[in-house]
Amino acid sequence: MKVGIVCPYAFDVPGGVQQHVRELAEALQGRGVQVSVLAPVESATSQPAHVVTVPGVVPVAYNGSVARLSFGPSSVRRVRRWMATESLDLLHVHEPAVPSLSLLALRAAEVPVVATFHAAMASNSRALAVVAPVLRPALERITARIAVSRSALVTMRRHFGGAGVVIPNGLQVSRFAAAQAQPRWSADGGSVVFLGRMDEPRKGLSVLLEAWPRILNRHPAARLIIAGPGDVQQVRGRVDSAGGAVARTVEVLGPLAARDAASLLATADVFVAPHTGSESFGMVLVEAMAAGASVLASDLSAFADVLEHGAAGRLFPTGDPTALAAGLDVLLSEPAVRSALARRAAGEVRSYDWSVVAGRILRVYEAAAGSGRVASRQRSLTTTSVSRDVGSVVVPP
């Protein structure tokens, strides 16, 4: 089987969908599947031989972030050329509702199509309400639908209809489990870590910084380490302006290489995810769990699912710095609680390993490829037999 995987977002820009596509392709190749990836790129960068790039992207505000997309006549031609030359048996498009390469490939597809929906959006999303009727004819060409979480599945069903299976994002668990803690990031009073886009409001760094003085009242020897893409000087300026203990105990690292990010998570006594919305999964939570950190996260639906509703990590009311401080106080005060959460998380995180996730996706591929004509494909994929094989949640239309 030869599978074409299409990423809608610039492949040379960090992002959850890009990481998913990259690692899925590698996992499938490890199982003997031929793979060709089509993705836009912002600049000329070296990519693996199986990745075909489309240069030139347009930044578009999307779902609380900025997406770098590729569309227009030139992109249409490149998509058609790729599909004509690759002789695909199956097409796997990611975020097919986004106006980029995935949607263009879907419209041109002449083979069975699997689509993965990543985004979770508010039920009153005006943008989706406007475009959904326009997109539905194209989305009807999809043979089988995957959502990375229940939240993403709800968004898909609400705006586009159709049945779908829930298969989460995958992770190379062993890479994080083997990461080494770094003494330079540790602290006698506990090392607290934030890892995410620092200048993106929905990542909730402001909530954590507002809570931090309360933490220092109880744990003056604690340390907060902030890492991730964004304006480092701006964040450092905000920390320095707080002065006193806050300025002394907060370190802003900025972007980190993948190996260093894993080591930072392995060093953390507590990883905090104070995100405020528009999160469909929570890959960084899974990474922290795999690295051995105890996790404290806002009670977004997607985060609650990953943390087994509090069994594999603590939750606090979204956007509430007082509640965040209280939850962090407990975890810093009670090592036994942290250890228990980390042990539970280490068990739960195995189900996200690519060795498991890629197998589940392959079973969807096999069902889609063998399901016959388009009119009968979706019906065949909503049966209990396929649900049992995939091991996921199936929501009938």
Contact status, residue 91 vs residue 101, Cβ threshold 8 Å: no
> What's the mean per-residue pLDDT of the chain?
89
Query: Where do runs of H (alpha helix) occur along the chain?
Result: 16-30, 73-86, 101-108, 126-139, 150-160, 173-177, 205-218, 232-242, 244-249, 258-267, 283-291, 301-306, 321-333, 335-348, 354-369, 374-380, 384-390
Quote the CA–CA distance of 68 and 13 in Å, as a whole number: 8
Top-confidence residue, 200 or 132: 200
Res 137: pLDDT: 81
Quote the CA–CA distance of 327 and 215 in Å, as a whole number: 10
**How buried is residue 180: exposed, middle or buried, by Cβ count under 10 Å (0-12/13-18/19+)?**
exposed
**Residue 375, amino acid:** A
310-318 own/partner pairs: CB under 8 Å, 24+ apart = 311/344, 312/341, 312/344, 312/345, 312/348, 313/285, 313/289, 313/341, 313/345, 314/341, 318/275, 318/276, 318/277
Reported as a single tens digit per residue, the pLDDT across 146-159 is: 999 999 999 899 88
Res 73: pLDDT: 93
Is the pLDDT at 102 greater than 90, yes or no?
Answer: yes
Phi, psi of 38 (to 5 degrees): -115, 130
Res 131: pLDDT: 64
Q: What domains lie within the chain, and their CATH numbers?
A: 2-170+353-395 (3.40.50.2000), 173-351 (3.40.50.2000)
Three-class DSSP category at 11: coil
Contacts of 9 (CB under 8 A, 6+ apart): 15, 17, 18, 39, 40, 67, 68, 69, 95, 98, 100
- Rounded to the nearest angstrom, the gap between the alpha carbon of residue 185 and the centroid of all alpha carbons in its chain is 25
Reported as a single tens digit per residue, the pLDDT across 15-25 is: 889 999 999 99
pLDDT band at 318 (very low <50, low <70, confident <90, very high): very high
pLDDT cut 70: percent of the chain above it: 89
Quote the CA–CA distance of 32 and 20 in Å, as a whole number: 18
Reported as a single tens digit per residue, the pLDDT across 175-233 is: 999 999 999 999 999 999 999 999 899 999 999 999 999 999 999 999 999 999 999 99
- What is the token pair recorded at 369? 């490829």
Res 129: pLDDT: 54
Res 104: pLDDT: 95
Per the DSSP assignment, residues forming a β-bridge with 165 are 146, 394
Reported as a single tens digit per residue, the pLDDT across 374-396 is: 333 443 444 333 333 333 333 33
Quote the CA–CA distance of 332 and 246 in Å, as a whole number: 17
Q: What average pLDDT does this structure show over 323-329? A: 98
Reported as a single tens digit per residue, the pLDDT across 37-84 is: 999 999 878 899 999 999 988 888 766 678 889 999 999 999 999 999
Res 122: pLDDT: 59
Is the pLDDT at 298 greater than 90, yes or no?
Answer: yes
Return the number of other C-beta atoms located less than 10 Å from residue 238's C-beta: 16
Q: What average pLDDT does this structure show over 103-132? A: 80
pLDDT band at 128 (very low <50, low <70, confident <90, very high): low
Quote the CA–CA distance of 338 and 331 in Å, as a whole number: 6
Res 387: pLDDT: 38
- Rounded to the nearest angstrom, the gap between the alpha carbon of residue 123 and the centroid of all alpha carbons in its chain is 20
pLDDT band at 138 (very low <50, low <70, confident <90, very high): confident
Reported as a single tens digit per residue, the pLDDT across 224-267 is: 999 999 999 999 999 999 999 999 999 999 999 999 999 999 99
